[in-house]
Structure 1
């Protein structure tokens, strides 16, 4: 009886091990989401009194590539070319309300967030072409807005590309995009 149980256990282990080998490895560029106000989705569910009747201003869904000891801007991400601001699919930015970015009025809605990095400034692009892989099928005719913002150097290198929001005042926020020792600040206002 012991031999049958042992044989059955060995057979089950072999089947599980064989099945497990068909899984791919984890994606090195995990998906992330940034809100303004920060933690809006969490607070809406678990602390509604904290947000009151306020609506979210913006949400960005993107994928965070890692530096992995690589030279990023000017090498991995070439200067002067459209970049998807992350990895995999182009990030999607959702404005819950009409906003203004760089003096340009943007209607509430969903857009692809693309950039053109350069050494001293980046061009931030909002495109109506959603669900595109990278920026390979980028079509300038579908641009909703383009805004230029200066590059800032940061002291502590960021291992992963990141997007975060900061409050400027009740009607203004800053969207920060950063990776390695480079960051840009994009002002957004209601």
Structure 2
């Protein structure tokens, strides 16, 4: 009986080490194709942190193909994009309370829906390849128009721009630019 317990403990330890190594290797490989990045905006006591993964275009058609129109997108690659703010923000006249959220979008040819969801930390897609988002936990949704980028952008990018007293979150990839203005 003692031999069996010792053998079982060693087998479990080996499985745990192998699983941990496999997880680390797969995460590192995945991140090499779409590296993790952060975008930060700070003004006075407001700080916004966005953590996302930046896929590359790689000569592919992006919006309407790689990222289908009218379908919820994790707004990047790998894990769902996270958005954290230290103050309440106003998007399209609607209030986003201070806190941490996942950021989702629904790209369309002429407009995008921006979605802030109270669940965060999950992988961006489920086993069926659909967005891993519980729509019942959506906190804020609004639409913004699509603009043409002056030149194609190879890697998906999120940034912030100060616009007078307000600011905007800019999402840009390929020839698509979306700006979500906000006040605080």
Q: TM-score, normalised by structure 1?
A: 0.76
User: Using the alignment, how far apart are the partners of 2:157 and 2:113 within structure 1?
Assistant: 17
Q: Is the 8 A contact 1:35 1:56 kept in 2?
A: no
Task: Work out which of the residue numbers 127, 135, 143 in structure 2 matches 1:140.
Answer: 135
Match status 1:175 vs 2:169? yes
Counterpart CA distance in 2 for 1:36 and 1:130 is 20
Question: Could you tell me how far apart the structure 2 residues matched to 1:140 and 1:187 are?
Answer: 23
Q: Is 1:150 equivalent to 2:155 in the alignment?
A: no
Equivalent residues, number: 153
State the 1:56 CA deviation: 3.1
Identify which of 83, 87, 108 aligns with 1:118: 108
SS state of the match for residue 148, structure 1?
strand
**1:56 and 1:162 mapped to 2: Cα distance?**
21
* Structure with greater Cα Rg: 1
Question: How far, CA to CA, are the matches of 1:137 and 1:35 in structure 2?
Answer: 25
Task: Measure, in 2, the Cα distance between the counterparts of 1:87 and 1:124.
Answer: 16
Deviation at 1:131, TM superposition (A): 1.3
**Partner Cα separation in structure 2 for residue 91 and residue 139 of structure 1:** 14
Q: Distance in 2 between matches of 1:180 and 1:56?
A: 30
Out of 43, 67, 81, the position equivalent to 1:77 is 67
Structure 1: gaps spanning 5 or more residues: 1-22, 38-50
- Gap regions ≥5 residues in structure 2: 1-24, 126-130
Deviation of 1:134 (Å)? 1.1
Please report how far the alpha carbon of residue 140 of structure 1 lies from its aligned counterpart in structure 2 after TM superposition: 1.1
Residues 1:33 and 2:38 are matched in the alignment: yes
Residue-by-residue CA offset, 1:98-132 (whole Å, 9 max, x unaligned): 11111111110000000000000000000011112
CA RMSD of aligned residues (A): 1.7
Give the whole-Å Cα distance in 2 for the aligned partners of 1:132 and 1:115. 16
Q: Is the 8 A contact 1:93 1:111 kept in 2?
A: yes
TM-score (norm 2): 0.79
The answer to whether residue 55 in structure 2 is matched with residue 65 in structure 1 is: yes
Check conservation: 1:62, 1:90, Cα contact below 8 A: yes
